[in-house]
Amino acid sequence: MPVTFKTPVEIEKMRTAGRLAAEVLEMIEPHVVPGVTTDELDRRCHQYIVEHQQAVPAPLNYHGFPKSICTSINHVICHGIPNEKRLKEGDVVNVDITVIKDGFHGDTSMMFQVGNTSIKAQRLMATAYECLRLGIALVRPGARLGDIGWAIAQHAEARHYSVVREYCGHGIGRVFHEDPQVLHYGQPGTGYVLQAGMTFTIEPMINAGKRHVRLLPDGWTVVTKDHSLSAQWEHTVLVTAEGHEVLTARGNEDFKLPVEEFRYQAS
Ligand code: MF3
Ligand code: CO
Ligand code: CO
Q: pLDDT tens per residue, the chain (267 residues)?
A: 789 999 999 999 999 999 999 999 999 999 999 999 999 999 999 999 999 999 999 999 999 999 999 999 999 999 999 999 999 999 999 999 999 999 999 999 999 999 999 999 999 999 999 999 999 999 999 999 999 999 999 999 999 999 999 999 999 999 999 999 999 999 999 999 999 999 999 999 999 999 999 999 999 999 999 999 999 999 999 999 999 999 999 999 988 777 765 544 332
Which has the closest alpha carbon to 240: 136, 101, 105? 136
For residues 235 and 248, the answer to whether their CB atoms sit within 8 Å is yes
Q: What is the residue with the minimal CA distance to atom 12 of ligand 1? A: 59
Q: Which pLDDT value is given to residue 257? A: 75
The CA-based diameter of the chain, rounded to the nearest angstrom, is 48
**3-state class (DSSP) for residue 34:** coil
110, 167, 176: residue to mutate for ligand 1 pocket, most atoms within 8 A of CB: 176
Q: What is the dihedral of CA 173, 177, 178, 179, to 10 degrees?
A: 120
- Tell me the residue type at 142: G
- What values do phi and psi take at 97, rounded to 5? -115, 130
Nearest CA among 229, 240, 225, 143 for reference residue 182: 143
* pTM for this entry: 0.97
Nearest atom, ligand 1, residue 59 CA: 12
Atom of ligand 1 lying closest to residue 79 CA: 11
Other CB atoms within 10 Å distance of the CB of residue 26? 12
Residue 197: predicted pLDDT: 98
| Protein residue with least CA distance to atom 3, ligand 1 | 107
Residue 137 identity: A
Pocket of ligand 1 (CB under 6 A): 59, 62-63, 65, 70, 79, 96, 98, 107, 201, 203, 220, 234
Give the position, in ligand 1's atom list, of the atom nearest the Cα of 201: 4
Give pLDDT, residue 265: 38
β-partners of residue 27 are none
